[in-house]
């Protein structure tokens, strides 16, 4: 299978080439040339399959030209060694817990899959690959953990100073080895802009092989479709139409869910739930896409003012807004509303939502006002302990600290403070 640039369909690459490059030469995102639905009996008998078997069959068509079956099965086994439970919290509402991996965030799946792919592709290569990534929170920790110690790969993570939680910062600044953290005086969009600029800077790319581990990279983005299938496997016995509500920042996660739907997964609707960064809700309402400077919120992993992956969603629906509206709704919520629903859900059910999951819950309830007989699955994208200050302040409870978090809390933070692109370029050229 080939992957083409969304800016110029004549620019094509293999899966391997797309993963290593990260982004197309024209700055476009890579997109698969076709999505072939899986046989109907795959979904009819999905509850008889293991998660690893589901993942193998779902991703196979996209990667099989470059990764033999035996190696692909090993990559999937290395990626999926934790659980993805769907937990009922009230009638017709469940959460898909995506925080049982090593960094307790949904990005563990994509980061581990990509790290294993890049490790496989770098075998026997003479030139090291530098993974350059911007993070608004959880991506950094997941990428750092996924790539830690991978031969032939160096990781440089840019994050906005003072705008990630203390635990998120510890997870991306304390590992050492082949991981370097850049603390940027700015917001996430500044970090992402620097990464994109570096990819277009020939002085760097003539000297270094750069790739990205943000969800712009196909190996980070596509494997996120796995856990939508795992959730369907667990929820199909409910006998109701399924709605997925996804806390959305860069929109790679919900886009991967839509690819699972294109593979044939029965799903009624998707809801993209955002915080005050409401570019997509406004677009869905008025048809005008207007990027904006990102706004800091308590659900910081979604503080994105120009979501990179929304162009992939538009491509899935041939840039037809009416068709997209039939399958996607999008709502924006304030911090105050988010805190209020965290309190309500905890009071009513005893379940602790993190701020991102709370935004997802709000979006689902909004959709269910007009579709009450659907079964809603909210993606809980990170463990609430990663946002301890917000949870403690809002709920007056202190969640138990899991061992994955305890092991980084006392480690020393190490980061390079930078204020602009030239400092990043100088570091990349000198290292």
Q: In which element (H, E) is residue 29 found?
A: none
Residue whose C-alpha is closest to residue 84's, from 275, 227, 238, 266? 227
| 351 three-class SS | coil
Any alpha helices (H) in 200-320, and if so which ranges?
202-205, 218-221, 225-235, 252-262, 279-286, 310-316
**Residues pairing with 94 in the sheet:** 88, 377
Nearest 10 degrees: Cα torsion 392, 398, 404, 407:
90
The residue from 2, 27, 107, 163 that is catalytic is 107
Say whether 329 sits in a helix, a strand or coil.
strand
Partners of 179 in the beta sheet?
A: 155
Whole-number Cα distances in Å, 85 to 64, 109, 204, 380, 405: 28, 14, 43, 10, 20
Catalytic: 196?
no
Please state, as a whole number, how many other Cβ atoms lie within 10 Å of the Cβ of residue 187: 20
Closest CA to 110 of 234, 6, 250: 250
Sequence-separated contacts (24+) of 63-68 with Cβ below 8 Å: 63/1, 63/15, 63/117, 64/1, 65/1, 65/14, 65/15, 66/14, 66/15, 66/16, 66/121, 67/15, 67/117, 67/120
CB 97 within 8 A of CB 378: no
Q: Could you tell me how far CA 249 lies from the centroid of its own chain?
A: 9
Active-site residue set: 107
């Amino acid at each position: 299978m080939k992957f083409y640039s969304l800016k110029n369909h004549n620019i094509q690459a293999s899966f391997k080439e797309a993963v290593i490059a990260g982004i197309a030469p024209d700055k476009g995102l890579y997109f698969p040339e076709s999505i072939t639905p899986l046989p109907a009996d795959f979904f009819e008998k999905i509850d008889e399959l293991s998660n690893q078997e589901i993942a193998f069959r779902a991703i196979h068509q996209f990667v099989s030209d470059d990764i033999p079956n035996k190696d692909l099965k090993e990559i999937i086994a290395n990626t999926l060694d934790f659980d993805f439970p769907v937990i009922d919290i009230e009638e017709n509402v469940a959460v898909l817990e995506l925080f049982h991996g090593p960094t307790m965030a949904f990005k563990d799946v994509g980061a581990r899959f990509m790290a294993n792919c890049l490790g496989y592709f770098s075998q026997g290569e003479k030139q090291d690959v530098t993974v350059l990534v911007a993070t608004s929170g959880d991506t950094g920790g997941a990428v750092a953990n996924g790539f830690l110690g991978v031969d032939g790969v160096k990781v440089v993570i840019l994050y906005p100073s003072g705008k990630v939680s203390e635990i998120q910062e510890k997870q991306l600044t304390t590992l050492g080895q082949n991981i370097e953290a850049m603390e940027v005086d700015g917001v996430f969009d500044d970090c992402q802009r620097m990464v994109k600029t570096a990819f277009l800077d020939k002085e760097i790319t003539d000297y270094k092989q750069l790739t990205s581990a943000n969800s712009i990279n196909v190996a980070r983005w596509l494997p996120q479709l796995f856990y939508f299938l795992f959730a369907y496997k667990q929820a199909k016995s409910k006998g109701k139409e399924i709605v997925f509500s996804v806390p959305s920042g860069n929109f790679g996660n919900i886009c991967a869910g839509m690819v699972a739907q294109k593979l044939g997964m029965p799903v009624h609707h998707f809801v993209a739930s955002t915080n005050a960064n409401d570019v997509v809700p406004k677009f869905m309402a008025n048809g005008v896409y207007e990027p904006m400077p990102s706004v800091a919120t308590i659900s910081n992993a979604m503080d994105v003012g120009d979501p990179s992956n929304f162009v992939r969603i538009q491509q899935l629906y041939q840039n037809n807004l009416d068709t997209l509206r039939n399958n996607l709704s999008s709502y924006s919520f304030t911090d105050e509303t988010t805190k209020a629903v965290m309190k309500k859900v905890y009071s009513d059910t005893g379940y602790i939502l993190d701020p991102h999951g709370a935004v997802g819950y709000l979006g689902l309830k909004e959709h269910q006002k007009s579709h009450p007989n659907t079964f809603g699955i909210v993606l809980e994208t990170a463990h609430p302990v990663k946002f301890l200050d917000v949870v403690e302040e809002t709920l007056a409870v202190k969640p138990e600290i899991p061992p994955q978090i305890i092991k980084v809390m006392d480690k020393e933070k190490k980061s390079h403070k930078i204020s602009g692109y030239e400092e990043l370029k100088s570091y990349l050229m000198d290292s």
